[in-house]
Structure formats: C-alpha cells, structure tokens
Amino acid sequence: MGILMDKDTKVLVQGITGHQGLFHTKAMLEAGTKIVAGVTPGKGGEEIDGIKVYDSVRNAVNETGADASVVFVPAQFAKDAVIEAIDGGIRLIVIITEHIPSHDMLDVLFYARMNGATLVGPNCPGIASPGVGKIGIIPNTVLKKGRIGVISRSGTLTYEVVDAISKSGLGESTVVGMGGDKIPGMTFSDVLRLFEKDEYTDAVVLVGEIGGTAEEEAAELIEKEFSKPAVAFIAGVHAPPGKRMGHAGAIITGNEGTAESKIRSFERAGVCVAESIEEIPKALKDKLPRVAQTDFNT
C-alpha cells in the first residue's frame, strides 16, 4: 500500500498522444498502474496500448471512473488542463509539465483547494508506491518495495536517493517528488502528515534544496507532531552566494532559504542531516529498530 494512490486508483493521462505521454504511459503500465484512459482534444476514439483516448476529461471520467490524472500537456495549456480535470471530478492531479507561469499555478492551486483536489507538482517526477504503481516519471528501475517514505523537491536527486535506499536493502513505501517550483501543490508538511498516518511507513527521508522556507516549515512540524524517524539531505550547501541554482524555487531571501538555515532547523527538530546521499541508508538503519529492518518488504 501507499499514500495518495493504491491498487484501485484509476489514472487518466492528459496529453497521452504526445511523445512524453506515450513513453511514460508504457512505463506506468509496467509499474502496475491502472491507467484507464487518455485525454487529447481532437484525438478521441484512438487507442494507445489498448487505452482509449477521449476528447475531454469529463467523458473519460464518465466512462471509466478515473479518479486521478497525470498531466503531460505543454505549459501554455497546462492551466486549462488542470482546471478541466478538477471540473471533471478528478481529485488527485500530478503535474509533470515544467515552465508553467507562476500566476497560472496560483489560479489552479486556489481552484483545486476550493474543490477539494490535491495537486502534486508542477515540474515534478510525480509519485510512486512500489508494488502498487506510479503516477509520473520516476524510473521503475530505482524502486524497491519497502517501508521508507521519500519526499523530494529535486527530480534527479529523487532518483539518486531512492536508488541508494533500494540498493541498501530497505526500499520505499511511497515516493513523492513534489517539484521545486515557487508555487507548488503539495509541500513537505502536507506529505509528512500523510506519512504520519501511514501504517506502511516506518521512517521518512526529506530531500531539500536551497531557496524557500518549505524545509524550515517541515522541521517545525516534525518537532511538534511527527513521531517517526526522519533523515534529511539538503542540496546546494556549497552554492555560490547570490547565485540562483536550478529550480525557480531555489531563491534565497535574506537569512531564509539558505542550506545552513535548513540544516539548523532540522537538527533542532532531531532530524539527522546526511552530508551525502550515501549516508542516508546508514542513517536510516541507525534510527530504525533492528526488528523493523528485517521486514521491509512486507
């Protein structure tokens, strides 16, 4: 089992007929995801690997009962695609698309909250629960069923951290690659609350980076209401002062958003901060009871 999705989650792919949509739909199917429909306006009636393509989300939902969506449409159409998904009754939307304007994300985030929908992304690798499926682009090859939850702002680091955890023999319950844009859907704190309630997650890894205050806010939540062991890794410790690194969200303002500020916040909350990706599995094993380490694949 996992958070956000389970074996009964019915996924539709918005932009399924594009190159990225085609490629990642096949990978999601291979991971066990129940993909029930694709949506590309003007391509209704076509089939992709046995999956029917619809002209609209509403038609797809009415015929298939889809309750989650993954968005691969170009940035200029992403806002309309997400709003269409929400209007169609979808309540979990994973936005892979990058370069979506911030004002578009403000609009869709407000609309999602008004309608009870959960957004992951944009500019993110999505979510994966090994043994259940995935919604997004996290490589199948790095995933291993286990009991470690992973939350990350960085796409590439998500893959590297998950790979290190898997190769150590631990494995993951759910991986949430939430993206590093300035206006995100789910945050560290949102996902931590889900992992706190998840009986299949024994510990959590948080992969942060410079810029913003999401990590500091997560550390505060951990200190007050999160009971499970946590390990953090912060990218950008050696970033040159005044230089923006990578994501639009990686912007430092004053004394906030620095690697040092995030590390201090986590340490105050009792979170082990790994200095390298290779240290993460060891830190997890040090924090977990020996009995739990012997049963990660259940």
Amino acid, res. 166: S
Domain identity same for 149 and 102: no
Pair (156, 115) in one structural domain: no
pLDDT of residue 5: 97
Cβ–Cβ under 8 Å, residues 57 and 91: no
99 and 164 together in one domain: no
Any domain includes 231: yes
Mean pLDDT along residues 29-45:
97
Q: What is the pLDDT of residues 174-220, one digit of tens each?
A: 999 999 998 999 999 999 999 999 999 999 999 999 888 999 999 99
| Domain match, 216 and 81 both | no
Q: Are residues 108 and 20 in the same domain?
A: yes
Q: Which residues pair with 92 in a beta bridge?
A: 68, 118
Domain count, the chain: 2
Rounded alpha-carbon distances, angstroms, from residue 279 to 119, 162, 165, 273: 31, 13, 10, 9
> Is the residue at 129 inside a domain?
no
| DSSP at 142 | G
Q: Is the bond into 122 cis (omega within 30 degrees of 0)?
A: yes
pTM: 0.92
Contacts of 44 (CB under 8 A, 6+ apart): 53, 54, 55, 56, 59
pLDDT digits 0-9 by tens, 84-115: 999 999 999 999 999 999 999 999 999 999 99
Q: What CATH number is given to the structural domain containing 82?
A: 3.40.50.720
Answer whether residue 37 shows pLDDT above 70: yes
* CA distance readout (Å), 298 to 8, 21, 179: 19, 32, 29
Whether 88 and 156 share a structural domain: no
CATH number of the domain within which 194 lies: 3.40.50.261
Residues acting as catalytic residues: 247
211 and 64 housed in the same domain: no
How high is the mean pLDDT of the chain? Answer: 92
Regarding whether 211 and 94 lie in a shared domain, the answer is: no
Tell me the residue length of the chain.
298
Same domain membership, residue 153 and residue 287: yes
**pLDDT value at 52 more than 60:** yes
> H-helix or E-strand containing 2?
none
Question: Could you tell me if 165 and 172 are in contact, meaning their C-beta atoms sit under 8 angstroms apart?
Answer: yes
- Whether residues 159 and 273 fall in one domain: yes
CB 62 within 8 A of CB 89: no
Torsion from C-alpha of 50, 73, 137, 156, nearest 10 degrees: 160
Which amino acid would we find at residue 263? I
| Residue 82 binned pLDDT confidence (cut-offs 50, 70, 90) | very high
Domain that holds residue 267: 138-293
| Predicted confidence (pLDDT) at residue 15 exceeds the cutoff of 90 | yes
Is the pLDDT reported for residue 298 higher than 50?
no
Output the pLDDT for position 252. 47
Could you tell me if residue 4 is inside a domain? no
